Amino acid sequence: MPLSGISRRDTALGAFTFRELVTQRRLAERAIARRRDAAAARALIARIDDELAARRGGKLDRAGRALEP
């Protein structure tokens, strides 16, 4: 889902940097491996992956606009 017109800070995970999101995803994966609240950890991983995908899409859109003649 592209975030066109929406500020990164408007999303729940938007206040985190890329590195922070990756770190939180790694911690959630460790929680799943240790069988600690696996359902919540899976939900968090899904939200993080969606946020990263949206950022990636926005980044590609901006790069494409910069390259247009």
Q: 0.85 exceeded by the pTM? A: no
Residue-wise pLDDT for 10-55, tens only, equals 567 778 889 999 999 999 999 999 998 899 999 999 999 999 998 8
DSSP string, the chain: ---TT--GGGSTTTTS-HHHHHHHHHHHHHHHHTTSSHHHHHHHHHHHHHHHHHHHHHHHHHHHHHH--
